[in-house]
Amino acid sequence: MQSKWNLVWDNCLKIIKDNINIQSFKTWFEPIKPVALDNNVLTIQVPSQFFYEWLEEHYVTLLRKTIKRELGDDAKLEYRILMESNTQSTNPATVNYPNSRESSNYMNEMNMPGIFSTPMVKNPFVIPGLKKINVDSQLNPNYTFDNYVEGDCNRLARSAGMAVAKAPGGTAFNPLVLYGGVGLGKTHLVQAIGNFIKTANSNKSVLYVSSEKFTNQFVDYLKNNNVNDFIHFYQMIDVLILDDIQFFSGKTRTQDIFFHIFNHLHQSGKQLILTSDRAPKDLEGMEERLLSRFKWGLSADLQIPDFETRIAILKNKMHADGIEIPNDVVEFVAYNIKSNVRELEGVLISLLAQSSLTRQEINLELAKKTVMSFVKSVSKEISMETIQKTVCDFFEVPIDKLKEQTRKRHVVQARQLSMYFAKEYTNQSLKAIGSHFGGRDHSTVIHSCQAVRNLIDTDEEFKESVDELKKRIQLSI
């Protein structure tokens, strides 16, 4: 006998199928499974965070109207997202999210903003006398060795990473420095190491942090005369993963603090994992004593993936997101997008978007159009910093105001436009974009982008400002 939620969802699917093209229906709705119906709240299971974000951004209105048509005006939708796991459990780990339009404060209640989860202490760093800390590792659970595609371009780095993951602090690879250009998988690999260690050693504290975040924290604690707490906290970490160390260039005091933290962790047998966009020997503006320590362990580079590896990366991404694309299209994309993994995934997302929005089947002709426009638009990557600076200069707003909780109209408008352009000009996920604006969640980014689009359609003066900002951003390339 079919359950009530299955009957409700089947009825919903009939309505949805009549409102979108067949390819979009197969891609975004056939993989969904209804799992519960309680007090007019329908829970559906989706295969990934990416899948959830895509539904929320592109089909939220259709979903809401359909659910309310079936269950009434008080109906609500909740997502259950499958989380990848290295454990052998037969029950997959899940995380529940309400529909973001129905519960805008949910992410704040989930304690998403901020780096460390220390419920009893507002200060994210250790307090005097505290011997053990509860650290939110800041690792993305979707970054694992299982979905990291190996090829000639990254074999040494991946092998070294696995060795470190199995014996953190117990190999000659300490520190492990991974370097390479933008979008080649450095962040994925170091987070895969961290996730493996967390799974195998639950008693070890693992922390992933960007160099920019590390520097900003140090400055904040320097202002408050709490530098000792800052140092003490980082010295208690068992596995420290520091991303993009090239941003320490020219920051003498930050380098000095990190030098002392590095020494303590290394001498205590703790593991250090670093990433950079170039080899340690090529880093400029860094103290020689720090550079010498970067060379103590192993430096492994990640290179541009070859054709076969690019195909494997695309197929891996398709499998993870539950989508199907013809082989000739996959080969065409892999042949023409050669620079990095991020651009490969960006083309895949653009291709899916084109298919969904124009209601066309994904074929070679559509792929050619998508790749052609994409290659032109990403001839040189526009950074988040460039977008924020350009928008803030235009509105005469300090960049740090974008991260504050103020509701002043000119600041809110600058923040929303910055998010809108970040979505348009970068390949970062909604969650990653939100993290650049004070740790806001993906639903805030979706809302900001929609607010900008609405104003473009209704306010001619606003539209002129957007057009002017587009010119300025494009000229900055």
- Per-residue pLDDT, 353: 77
Among residues 46, 44, 18, 20, which one has the least CA distance to residue 31? 46
* Phi, psi at 399, each rounded to 5°: -60, -40
- Per-residue pLDDT, 242: 93
- Per-residue pLDDT, 134: 59
- Per-residue pLDDT, 125: 37
Asked whether the beta carbons of 364 and 328 are under 8 A apart, the reply is yes
Among residues 181, 143, 140, which one has the least CA distance to residue 317? 143
- Percentage, residues of the chain above pLDDT 70: 84
CB count, 10 Å around CB of 250?
10
- Per-residue pLDDT, 291: 87
Asked whether the beta carbons of 269 and 169 are under 8 A apart, the reply is yes
Region of poorest pLDDT, from 123-132, 224-233, 294-303, 455-464: 123-132
Tokens of 286: 């860094």
| Size of the chain in residues | 477
**What string of DSSP letters covers 386-448?**
HHHHHHHHHHT--GGGGGS----HHHHHHHHHHHHHHHHH----HHHHHHTTTS--HHHHHHH
Among residues 293, 251, 250, 253, which one has the least CA distance to residue 274? 293
| pTM for this entry | 0.49
Sorting pLDDT into bands at 50, 70 and 90, what band is 193?
very high
The string of pLDDT tens digits covering residues 394-443 is 888 898 888 888 888 889 999 999 999 988 888 777 888 988 898 888 88
- Per-residue pLDDT, 98: 55
On the question of a cis peptide bond just before residue 326, with omega within 30 degrees of 0, the verdict is: no
The string of pLDDT tens digits covering residues 142-157 is 888 888 888 878 888 8
Question: Options 3.30.450.20, 3.30.300.180, 3.30.310.40, 3.30.460.80; which CATH number does 4-109 get?
Answer: 3.30.300.180
- Average pLDDT of the chain? 79
Given a cut of 90, whether residue 227 has pLDDT beyond it is: no
Q: What is the dihedral of CA 48, 207, 156, 345, to 10 degrees?
A: 30
* Phi, psi at 31, each rounded to 5°: -70, -10
The string of pLDDT tens digits covering residues 50-93 is 678 778 878 888 888 888 888 888 888 888 876 544 333 334 44
Give the sheet arrangement for strand 176-180, strand by strand: 206-210, 239-243, 271-276, 176-180, 298-302
Q: What's the angle, vertex CA 203, arms to CA 200 and CA 204, rounded to 5?
A: 80
- Per-residue pLDDT, 385: 87
What is the domain partition of the chain in residue ranges? 4-109, 155-302, 307-377, 384-475
CATH of domain 384-475: 1.10.1750.10
- Per-residue pLDDT, 122: 31
Q: Please, is 162 exposed, middle or buried when counting C-beta atoms within 10 Å of its C-beta (0-12, 13-18, 19+)?
A: middle
- Helix, strand, coil % over all residues of the chain, rounded to 5: 55, 10, 35
Sorting pLDDT into bands at 50, 70 and 90, what band is 379?
very low
Distances (CA, A) of 167 to 27, 163, 176, 208: 40, 6, 12, 18
The string of pLDDT tens digits covering residues 114-126 is 333 333 323 333 3
CA distance linking residue 209 with residue 187, whole number of Å: 11
CA distance linking residue 174 with residue 269, whole number of Å: 9
Given a cut of 80, whether residue 388 has pLDDT beyond it is: yes
Sorting pLDDT into bands at 50, 70 and 90, what band is 373?
low
Give the list of residues 6+ apart from residue 1 with CB closer than 8 angstroms, or none.
none
Q: What's the angle, vertex CA 148, arms to CA 350 and CA 136, rounded to 5?
A: 95
The string of pLDDT tens digits covering residues 247-279 is 888 888 888 889 888 988 888 889 999 999 888
Q: What's the angle, vertex CA 190, arms to CA 188 and CA 196, rounded to 5?
A: 100
52-88 residues labelled b (16+ CB within 10 A) or e (exposed): bbbbbbbbbebbbebbeebbeeebbbbbbbbebeeee
- Per-residue pLDDT, 275: 92
Given a cut of 90, whether residue 99 has pLDDT beyond it is: no
Distances (CA, A) of 271 to 192, 214, 354, 476: 15, 17, 44, 39
- Per-residue pLDDT, 237: 87
- Percentage, residues of the chain above pLDDT 90: 10
Task: State the distance between the two ends of the chain, measured CA to CA, in whole angstroms.
Answer: 60
Stretch 18-27: mean pLDDT: 80
Long-range contacts of 367-370 (CB under 8 A, 24+ apart): 367/329, 367/332, 367/333, 368/332
Asked whether the beta carbons of 313 and 149 are under 8 A apart, the reply is yes
Give the list of residues 6+ apart from residue 197 with CB closer than 8 angstroms, or none.
165, 168, 204, 206, 239, 271
Q: Please, is 248 exposed, middle or buried when counting C-beta atoms within 10 Å of its C-beta (0-12, 13-18, 19+)?
A: buried
The string of pLDDT tens digits covering residues 273-296 is 999 988 888 888 888 888 888 888
- Per-residue pLDDT, 2: 66
- Per-residue pLDDT, 239: 92
Given a cut of 70, whether residue 324 has pLDDT beyond it is: yes
Give the list of residues 6+ apart from residue 174 with CB closer than 8 angstroms, or none.
164, 266, 271, 272, 296, 297
- Rounded to 10 deg, the angle between the 341-358 and 364-377 helix axes is 130
Q: Is 439 left (phi over 0), alpha (psi -120 to 50) or beta?
A: left
Sorting pLDDT into bands at 50, 70 and 90, what band is 24?
confident
Q: Which amino acid is at 241?
A: I
CATH topology of domain 155-302: Rossmann fold (3.40.50)
Sorting pLDDT into bands at 50, 70 and 90, what band is 163?
very high
CA distance linking residue 28 with residue 148, whole number of Å: 24
Asked whether the beta carbons of 353 and 321 are under 8 A apart, the reply is no
CA distance linking residue 313 with residue 334, whole number of Å: 9
Architecture of domain 307-377: Orthogonal Bundle (1.10)
